[in-house]
């Protein structure tokens, strides 16, 4: 299959996925309009012969208005429908792979979620051009869900502040956690002090330790 045919098939299958998904989305009419554009793009790409010389951006000239219209509608698509999914249609034309910028979340939990999502997306993306329509269809549906989750994660990563690290005593004499490593209540009383370590504030709380009132502000 030449790249027009690959993109055409992806557009047709994605239109199908979106039509099914539209039932669960709040702005159904926008989604259905988008599926119509996708089907138009699929039909046109299907008729075009493979270009002898590559066009700029790889997008066939006659197709540019439809692609632009699709992009305009993407700005108003409902929540719960990641615009990244449309890049799977244009990727075979432009030769640009679908790439996600690192989110660099402050929390380890979100970083783990991000790694898992990227792995799952990579696995699913391989199946988008599977010989079987059913496999390719479910791969696109899966990618849509994964990109929706990635969008939500990107939002969370942007709003969740870094978890502060606090200092606690090692050994048996520990009842409080200290934002400041040099707090006199932490290092004082040499008889009971056997060293200190740091941990996320959440862990210190989970251990039943309380915030030190004597820590310098």
Kindly tell me which of 152 and 180 has the beta carbon lying closer to Zn ion.
180
Query: What is the length of the chain?
Result: 217
Does 121 sit near Zn ion (CB under 5 A)?
no
Q: How far is CA 160 from CA 33, 163, 202, 208, in A?
A: 35, 8, 14, 24
In the list 7, 174, 178, 209, the residue contacting Zn ion (rule: CB under 5 A) is 178
Of the candidates 158, 164, 148, 146, the one whose C-alpha atom is nearest the C-alpha of residue 110 is 158
DSSP character string of 146-181: HHHHHHHHHHHHHHSPPPPEEEEESSS---EEBSST
User: Among 18, 149, 129, which Cα is nearest to 77's?
Assistant: 18
Residue 168's region, left for phi above 0, alpha for psi from -120 to 50, else beta, is beta
- Does the footprint of Zn ion cover residue 215 (CB under 5 A)? yes
Among 6, 40, 100, 185, binds Zn ion (CB under 5 A): 185
Nearest-approach distance from CB 177 to Zn ion, in angstroms: 8
The reply to whether 193 sits near Zn ion by the rule CB under 5 A is: no
The minimum distance between CB 173 and Zn ion, in angstroms, equals 13
The stretch among 49-57, 65-73, 157-165, 207-215 that binds Zn ion (CB under 5 A) is 207-215
Nearest to 14 by CA among 140, 196, 202, 179: 140
Could you tell me the CA-to-CA distances from 74 to 29, 35, 142 in Å, in that order?
Answer: 13, 11, 19
Q: Indicate the residue among 110 and 185 with the shorter CB distance to Zn ion.
A: 185
Work out how close the CB of 167 gets to Zn ion at its nearest, in angstroms, rounded to a whole number.
8
Residue 212 touches Zn ion, criterion: CB under 5 A: yes
Nearest residue (CB) to Zn ion, 21 versus 174: 174
CB of 34 to Zn ion, least distance (A): 57
Decide if residue 168 touches Zn ion (CB under 5 A).
no
Shortest Å, Cβ 185 to Zn ion: 4
Report yes or no: 204 and 168 within 8 Å, Cβ to Cβ: yes
Q: Which of 18, 124, 136, 183 lies at the binding interface for Zn ion (CB under 5 A)?
A: 183
**Stretch near Zn ion under the rule CB under 5 A, chosen from 34-42, 94-102, 147-155, 175-183:** 175-183
Distances, alpha carbon 25 to alpha carbons 48, 80, 150, 155, in Å: 33, 7, 18, 19
* Sites of contact with Zn ion (CB under 5 A): 178, 183, 185, 212, 214-215
């Amino acid at each position: 299959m030449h790249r027009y045919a690959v993109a055409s098939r992806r557009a047709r299958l994605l239109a199908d996925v979106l039509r099914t998904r539209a039932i669960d989305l709040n702005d159904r009419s926008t989604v259905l309009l988008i599926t119509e554009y996708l089907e138009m793009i699929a039909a046109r790409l299907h008729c075009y012969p493979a270009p002898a010389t590559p066009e700029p951006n790889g997008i066939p000239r006659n197709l540019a208005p439809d692609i632009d219209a699709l992009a305009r509608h993407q700005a108003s698509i409902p929540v719960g429908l990641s615009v990244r999914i449309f890049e799977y249609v244009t990727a075979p034309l432009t030769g640009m792979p679908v790439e996600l910028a690192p989110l660099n979340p402050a929390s380890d939990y979100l970083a783990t979620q991000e790694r898992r999502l990227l792995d799952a997306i990579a696995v699913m993306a391989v199946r988008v051009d599977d010989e079987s329509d059913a496999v390719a269809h479910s791969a696109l549906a899966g990618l849509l869900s994964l990109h929706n989750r990635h969008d939500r994660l990107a939002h969370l990563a942007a709003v969740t502040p870094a978890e502060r690290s606090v200092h606690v005593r090692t050994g048996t004499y520990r009842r409080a956690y200290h934002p400041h490593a040099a707090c006199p209540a932490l290092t004082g009383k040499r008889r009971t002090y056997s060293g200190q370590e740091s941990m996320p504030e959440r862990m210190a709380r989970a251990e039943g330790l309380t915030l030190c009132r004597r820590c310098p502000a």
